[in-house]
Amino acid sequence: MSLQVLWSFLAAHPTKIINLLALLLTCPGGLLLQSARRREANTRERLAADEGVVDMMDQRVPRYYYILGFSCLAMALLLSWFSTWV
Q: How confident is the model at residue 52 (pLDDT cuts 50, 70, 90)?
A: low
pLDDT of residue 39: 85
- Residue 72 to residue 31: CA distance in whole angstroms: 10
Q: Rounded distance, CA 17 to CA 8, Å?
A: 12
CA distance 41 to 36: 9
Q: CA geometry: angle at 53 spanning 52 and 54, to 5°?
A: 115
Residue 20 to residue 49: CA distance in whole angstroms: 44
Domain ranges of the chain: 14-85
Min mean pLDDT across 12-16, 34-38, 70-74 is at 12-16
As a whole number of angstroms, the longest Cα–Cα distance in the chain is: 63
What is the pTM for the complete model shown?
0.73
Q: How far apart are CA 22 and CA 74, in angstroms?
A: 10
